[in-house]
Structure 1
């Protein structure tokens, strides 16, 4: 049932209060209604003109807001059938409590029995070294436990890690965060206002894209090719739009696995400094090269103003919610004040454990790299065996494969795959350019037998796949049990 325009106006509330273009503020209001479940998947929305009249805005404002949400995958607009909330990309059968257009987070919020998760790339279990580190730490006896900028011992350990990689760093340039996601979130809150431009890669890490959308920022996407970010295009975006922030994953890119060579990296940093644009280097995966070769220097090796974001979530365990931001000391001080408003500082025992792990980090990294290489090779072999028409190039490291379907689109196939008991991440949900339609991101962190079963289920789903059928609402077979 279509909600009446007057009802939508009431739900939206004071949607126009804030900075930035009206269409972005309106899109942010609709995004909230969709994510909170007030506008469920498939719900029809009023025609452009009727809604514009109810909101007392021009029709172009509504059209631009609808188109923004369509590009994000939250709305579907078809000639003759109007505008609807998009089908939940990985919606499992049964009642739902939380709606989100980001399938990477969906099963974290609503886990489904029997579904193999190839959508959320994180180590499936903690290493033995983590439990050992917890057993060996000693809690301080004369400490309140509030450290908004981070425990001094951990800030020093992270700073030493940067120094070992050729980037001299003092503890005053390190902020400890509750995972890299919080670090990106704090930077978003500090540096972006509604309507501000943000340079992003296309495709890119979906968790960062969600944060930028929540801030009602305008993404300025730049394509990623076989050698990483198109730096010439990025420089052109900087010159034309002067974004308030640039966010890149230059080394072992998420999701494509590409590595940006040093010379283009230097050029990118020089352009950001020339135009006064804060440049964020997501380093979370940068040390996970399969061959064990030394990680490429972070972008901060090429410029003092570069902001690095890292964590232990991929090399150790996602449940160890320890990350960090490296940047100029004045910026770190501002971020620490902002973090204090939210949580007064990250968990102290976790920080003590992280400091201990960083002091003997290489064996942990070596073990993780070996596991990743084995998973990468196995998943590619199984895909070649059961799904030879899928394009699946190898990666130099990281946790995921960037797979191209021979036809159809990732969103409709992901819906069918889920009904066969495997969750995958459609590429278009990671691409602010609206591309990567035929792409899927698959991780290879699960045990061998589970990866084999996941590919078997994908192959069964592919044999039944008819492009467009799922988006039209035709239900496929139900998901099997474990």
Structure 2
């Protein structure tokens, strides 16, 4: 293939925040994904490229290293650097995160403790669909496209926030296809390559993937974003992300004092604060659930969903934010998706007012499954360190030796899928942890722990663990 004048195609790539190598990698990534740099295209040697761009050679080397770690380019001694071909690179904008791969490539012989959600819809879902049939059958003069969400559902969500102490109008709610789409839209709206995101560590891997897709630099902080103000003032940040109630994966709940301080600091340093409250309704019996974080400051951007408290198959989530932010997100969403499933939204409008009742009815069952797993782990894996939780759906487990990544592979060979801590922690300090969930029926959970025990007996940790690439964490 003839050499391509890469520098002519780059255009403006250095206008943005963040290290130059991240900005350069982001622009090259875009050219590759858009086909401007086709498979097999030769890229300039790092010294030549650096001279052409008037940057240090280390900038080009770091950018190439980042793209190589994503399998977008191939570097071989003697043949130079080339855009990866179809046989060596996955489809652009795909993920290799284990949580998603277990969904994309399910195995019937494997019990998945990697992605948590209700195993079946409650009867109330079918009842809600039955309620909307007359409305659907009488619908006329309605093409069914609502990029912002159907007005009935936006109103129901707004009224629920009002009951929780957060005055909200329907135009301050955007309905999305689940919480993951909400995260992706926020990443697209607020982040540019090289922008910095402050987030807890460990945290939800789906958030990490959404922010990485936007080319963001991920700055890890302890739970509750301790050190948030200092980090925000030292390094200009574009976004902060927190799970204040039943944190994923640890199950921690922020105190009222920490919540107030968090929103005060976010306002003071002018950093948009995203509160992921998708699992906030999953308290055990007798657990007093705190108000949404937005009750302390209406400027907080809140993500909600029916995936964990009702059923993931509905694919109904939302963002609650200022009307200006919602309008911006709606325009962005319209480009990629003209609107969600209308029958699902109409059914959800009947379900949202019942969230508290439905969650309370199943709280004892969730607690029972939590206790069952804790008891089974205590008997069969007594050297594992597990902290009980008072809600949510996950357990954060410290292994006595070895690392989560290699053990997760052993567990998979024994028929159970778990998440390694390294995939939830960009700081690199959670290699010795794994995450599991307790949403399966009791008999399935019992079998899963039996398989984990068998995997642990067979586990031989590698003599040396390969660390995760550090380029995306700062």
What residue number does 1:115 align with? 110
CA separation of 1:196/1:393 partners in 2, compared to 1, >3 Å: closer, same or farther? same
Match of 1:243 in 2: 237
Q: Could you say what secondary structure the match of 2:283 adopts?
A: coil
Contact kept in structure 2, 1:279 and 1:306, CA below 8 Å? yes
SS at match of 1:359: helix
* Aligned with 2:406 (options 409, 412, 430): 412
Contact kept in structure 1, 2:13 and 2:27, CA below 8 Å = no
Measure how far apart 1:53 and its partner are.
Answer: 3.6
Determine the C-alpha separation between the residues in 2 that align with 1:452 and 1:459: 11
Aligned counterparts of 2:445 and 2:397: Cα–Cα separation in 1: 15
Q: Deviations over 1:433-479 (max 9, x none)?
A: 1111111110011111111111111111111111116969xxxxxxx
C-alpha distance in 2 between matches for 1:253 and 1:417? 24
CA distance in 2, matches of 1:406, 1:295: 33
Instruction: Give runs of aligned pairs for residues 126-275 of structure 1, distance below 5 A.
Output: 126-137=121-132, 138-139=135-136, 140-224=139-223, 229-231=224-226, 233-275=227-269
- Shift of residue 64 of structure 1? 4.0
CA distance in 2 between partners of 1:432 and 1:68 (Å): 15
1 CA distance for matches of 2:29 and 2:428? 17
Residue 466 (structure 1) aligned with residue 426 (structure 2): no
In structure 2, relative to structure 1, the CA distance for the partners of 1:155 and 1:438 (3 Å cut) is same
Q: Is this contact kept in 1: 2:195–2:217, CA < 8 A?
A: yes
> Following TM superposition, by how much is the alpha carbon of 1:416 offset from its aligned partner in structure 2, in angstroms?
1.0
Q: 2:396 aligns with which of 380, 398, 402?
A: 402
CA distance in 1, matches of 2:410, 2:463: 9
Does the 8 Å contact 1:115/1:422 carry over to 2? Answer: yes
User: When the two structures are aligned, how many residues end up with a matched partner?
Assistant: 428
SS of alignment partner, residue 209 of structure 2: helix
Relative to structure 1, the CA distance from residue 205 to residue 28 in structure 2 (aligned partners, 3 Å threshold; closer, same or farther) is farther
Cα distance in structure 2, aligned partners of 1:213 and 1:236: 23
Q: Distance in 2 between matches of 1:249 and 1:412?
A: 28
Is the contact made by 2:176 and 2:340 (CA closer than 8 Å) also made in structure 1? yes
Structure 1 gaps, min length 5: 1-5, 36-49, 76-95, 473-482
1:16-415 mapped onto 2 (5 Å cutoff) = 17=13, 19-20=15-16, 21-25=19-23, 52-53=46-47, 55-56=49-50, 58-61=56-59, 64-65=62-63, 100-137=95-132, 138-139=135-136, 140-224=139-223, 229-231=224-226, 233-415=227-409
Q: Secondary structure at the match of 2:241?
A: strand
Question: 413-422 vs 61-70, which deviates more?
Answer: 61-70
Following the alignment from structure 1 to structure 2, what is the Cα–Cα distance between the partners of residues 286 and 413?
Answer: 30
Q: 1:29 to 1:372 in 2, by over 3 A?
A: farther
Of 137-146 and 397-406, the range deviating more from structure 2: 137-146
CA distance in 1, matches of 2:334, 2:155: 20
Q: 1:275 to 1:133 in 2, by over 3 A?
A: same
- Spell out, residue by residue over 1:150-176, the C-alpha distance to the aligned partner (whole angstroms, 9 max, x if none): 111111100111111111111111111
Q: Label 1:33 to 1:441 Cα distance change in 2 as closer, same or farther (>3 A).
A: farther
- 1:443 aligned to which of 425, 429, 437: 437
Distance 1:438 1:67, change over 3 A: farther
**TM-score, normalising length: structure 2:** 0.83
Root-mean-square deviation over aligned CA pairs = 3.1
2:394–2:435 Cα contact (<8 Å) kept = yes
Corresponding residue SS for 1:281: strand
- Equivalent residues of 2:277, 2:304 under 8 A apart: yes
Secondary structure of the residue aligned to 1:402 is: strand
Compared with structure 1, are the counterparts of its residues 18 and 61 closer, same or farther at alpha carbon in structure 2 (3 Å cutoff)? closer
Q: Is the 8 A contact 1:9 1:55 kept in 2?
A: no
**In 1, Cα distance between the equivalents of 2:372 and 2:124?**
25
Q: Deviations over 1:389-416 (max 9, x none)?
A: 0001100100000000001100011011
Corresponding position of 2:471:
none
Partners of 2:461 and 2:15 in 1: CA distance:
41
Change (3 A) 1:400 1:203: same
Whether the 8 Å CA contact 1:255–1:402 is kept in 2: the answer is yes
Conserved in 1, the CA contact under 8 Å of 2:386 and 2:397? yes
Q: Which stretches in structure 2 are left out of the alignment for 5+ residues?
A: 34-43, 73-88, 467-474
- 3-state DSSP class of the match of 1:403? strand
Q: 1:411 to 1:31 in 2, by over 3 A?
A: farther
Q: Could you tell me how far 1:331 is from its partner in structure 2?
A: 0.9
Out of 242-251 and 285-294, give the one that drifted further.
285-294
1:405–1:181: structure 2 CA closer, same or farther, 3 Å change rule?
same
Q: Give the TM-score taking structure 1 as reference length.
A: 0.81
